[in-house]
Amino acid sequence: MSSMDNVIKCMAQQLRDGDIAYTGLASVPAVLAIALARHWGRDVTFINVAEIYEPKDMIIKVSSGDPTSFIGGKGIVTSLDAFDLARRGLLDVMFFSAAQVDRRGNMNLSVIGSYEKPRVRLPGGAAAAYLYRRARRVIMWLKEHSRRTLVEHVDFVTAPGPTKYGPHLTVCTPKALFEFDQEVGELVLTGLFPGVTVDDIINNMAFKPRIKEPLRILETVTAEELRLLNRWDPDGVRYS
């Protein structure tokens, strides 16, 4: 077990009965979160960048866009279809990760350093700059809970954070759960994993978040859930 398995469980717990959820590229944790929520019996309709609609089973590959990774699908639903759904306000859940996220929920997937002469040129924000305005809920995950990833101001606003109208944003990290408070316009610490202290959380991020007491203690993966994650993802792509 690794902290990433707990992050995946945290993501899965954000899903609800009746959700239509979409996963993009480089999103193995999101795919596994949907698989886990469905295993729990939650009625989540699954559409994805591989364009395989409602697969029955999966075997994770290094690409979350691999169509052979999704088994027993009911047909093709394109990303164009999925994004049209979002534009009409009907996509319930979109998953994102980011190199940096800040207090305001702004995401950076573009560059570390200056835009014109970047220290690291990141892949780009893909759908973020518009789904942040049109998905009903965004579930973000961070592989790393650190001062590098949780920053006061992102180096570049690839996708601006939520407004008071939406979307609902949650961020799952290896240590904690944040939820965006539409009233104050900030990420608020709402949960933490067992054995993690609030100090541990705050000292490992570059902004001091508001805290919503009482903090929820997040569930860690069970042995059965880990067995399932290993069955779907035998090569451990989720840890990469």
Partner 1 sequence: MVKSKLMSISEALDLINDGDEIAIGGMSFHRNPMAMALAIARSNRRDLALIDREPGLAFDLLTISGRVRRIRAAMVTFEHFGIAPGFRRMVENGEVEFIEDVCEGVMAGLRAGAYGVPFMPSAIALDSDLVQLNVKRGIWKVIRNPFNEEEEFVAVKAIRPDVAIIHAHKADEKGDVELQGPKYEDLLKVQAAKRVIVTVEEVVPEDYFRNNPDKLTIPGFLVTAVVHAPRGAWPTSMYGYYEADYKVIRKYFDAVKSGSNIEEVLRVFSNV
206 lines the binding site for partner 1 (CB under 8 A): no
Contact between residue 87 and residue 77 where contact means Cβ atoms under 8 Å apart: no
Distance between CA 158 and CA 92 in Å, rounded? Answer: 21
26 lines the binding site for partner 1 (CB under 8 A): yes
Q: What DSSP state is assigned to residue 173?
A: -
240 lines the binding site for partner 1 (CB under 8 A): yes
Among 5, 32, 65, 137, binds partner 1 (CB under 8 A): 65
- Closer residue to partner 1, CB minimum distance, 83 or 178: 83
CB-neighbour burial class of residue 166 (10 A; exposed 0-12, middle 13-18, buried 19+): middle
77 lines the binding site for partner 1 (CB under 8 A): yes
Q: Which of residues 129-148 bind partner 1 (CB under 8 A)?
A: 129-130, 132-134
Q: Which of residues 82-121 bind partner 1 (CB under 8 A)?
A: 83-90, 109-110, 115, 117-118, 120-121
Using DSSP's 3-state secondary structure scheme, residue 80 falls into: helix
Regarding beta strands 111-113 and 150-151, do their DSSP bridges make them parallel or antiparallel, or are they unpaired? unpaired
Count of residues of this chain found to bind partner 1 when the rule CB under 8 A is applied: 67
The pair of structure tokens assigned to 192 is 């933490």
122 lines the binding site for partner 1 (CB under 8 A): yes
- Closer residue to partner 1, CB minimum distance, 162 or 174: 162
123 lines the binding site for partner 1 (CB under 8 A): yes
Question: Which range binds partner 1 by CB under 8 A, 55-63, 172-180, 205-213, 214-222?
Answer: 55-63
Using DSSP's 3-state secondary structure scheme, residue 211 falls into: strand
The pair of structure tokens assigned to 49 is 């960048």
- Closer residue to partner 1, CB minimum distance, 41 or 195: 41
Among 22, 95, 156, 232, binds partner 1 (CB under 8 A): 156
CB-neighbour burial class of residue 70 (10 A; exposed 0-12, middle 13-18, buried 19+): buried
Smallest separation (angstroms) from partner 1 to the CB of 81: 7
What beta strand segments (E) does the chain contain?
A: 20-23, 45-48, 57-58, 70-71, 93-97, 100-102, 107-108, 111-113, 118-121, 137-141, 150-151, 168-172, 176-181, 186-192, 210-217
| Site of interaction with partner 1 (CB under 8 A) | 20, 24-26, 28, 43, 45, 47, 49-54, 56, 61-68, 72-81, 83-90, 109-110, 115, 117-118, 120-130, 132-134, 156-160, 237, 240
